[in-house]
Amino acid sequence: MEIIIFNFSGKATNYSCGKMSTEKKKKLAALPTEEQDRKDLKNLLDLKKKLLFYERILGEASAGLVIFDMIKLKAVWTNDSLRRILGLKRSTHLNSDEILSMYHPEDQNLLLEMRSFFRSNKKDPYTAFYKFRNINGEFIWFYTVARIFRYDPTQDVFEVLGVSLNFSEELIYGKNLKLFAQEKLQKTNHKNINRITPREKEIIKYIANGFKMREIAELLGLSVHTVNNHRKNILIKLEMKNLAALVNFAVENGLD
């Protein structure tokens, strides 16, 4: 049986009601059914829920996240947490000069040092402890860990993902802070500390606890002259000018 339908051009089209060809069956099977529509809609709703969930995590996490363009020295993207910490609005966009000016004067070269580091270390993280100014002009302590996010020199793409913790907030559980600082400083000063002999460490401990050279000599069974020579050698090895600096070094590095 055939059905003939005339179109507006006057031409007739024949439609066969006989057996359906294999090709037509495949096309018909490929058309979405109501059940498939429901599944697709459910998948879309689930995806939307997941995206909203991840967006909430990124926005409410107590850490600042930033994707930074290391070529143009500007932030490509930041999460809401970092903007809240710094007091910045979503509409605020800072150029490279403005961003550099927000670093503490002693940390002005941090971004340039980071860029230099990543040019020779593509896989290692870059860590930094520094001060950054918020919108009110107050400097905030940050600890940041950064890694390369995207790098393609052929396309001038050099982006870094940084995770920053606000260290200026009050510590509720801070009893280990001194120990943490000592361990970090010891690792930083590891080379200099290794140059100090056990005897010199003894003398540093006594000096840090307020003992005079004569008292230290008596306690160690040494002459005052020998103790003074140790003191001079210690200052030379640690590249320090006076005992006040030595005492601070001893306290910071757990030598007291």
Confirm or reject CATH 1.20.120.140 for domain 177-252, answering yes or no.
Answer: no
Give the pLDDT of residue 29. Answer: 60
Give the pLDDT of residue 6. Answer: 42
Q: Phi/psi of residue 64, each to 5°?
A: -85, 130
Report the CATH number of the 62-166 domain.
3.30.450.20
Give the pLDDT of residue 188. Answer: 78
Amino acid at site 104: H
Q: Are strands 157-166 and 64-69 parallel, antiparallel or unpaired?
A: antiparallel
Which 3 state secondary structure label does DSSP give 56?
A: helix
Q: Where are the domains of the chain?
A: 2-58, 62-166, 177-252
d(CA 135, CA 231): 47
The owner of tokens 């490509």 is 76
62-166 matches 177-252 in fold: no
Q: Specify the DSSP class assigned to residue 17.
A: -
SS3 letters across 66-89: EEEECCCCEEEEECHHHHHHHCCC
Give the pLDDT of residue 219. Answer: 93
Burial of 255 (0-12, 13-18, 19+ CB in 10 A): buried
Give the pLDDT of residue 132. Answer: 95
Angle 120-126-128 (CA atoms, 0-180°, nearest 5)?
135
Give the pLDDT of residue 178. Answer: 80
Torsion angle, alpha carbons of 179, 180, 185, 188, to 10: 140
Give the pLDDT of residue 3. Answer: 43
Give the pLDDT of residue 2. Answer: 45
256 residues of the chain, pLDDT tens digit each? 444 444 444 444 554 555 556 666 566 565 567 778 888 888 899 999 999 998 888 888 889 999 999 999 888 899 999 989 999 887 787 777 888 889 999 999 999 999 999 999 999 999 999 999 999 999 999 999 999 999 999 999 999 999 999 999 888 888 888 888 878 777 878 878 888 999 999 999 999 999 999 999 999 999 999 999 999 999 998 888 899 989 988 887 888 7
What is the pTM assigned to this prediction? 0.64
DSSP string, 228-246: HHHHHHHHHHTT-SSHHHH
d(CA 85, CA 81): 6
The Cα-based distances of 28 to 39, 134, 140, 224 in angstroms read 19, 62, 64, 102
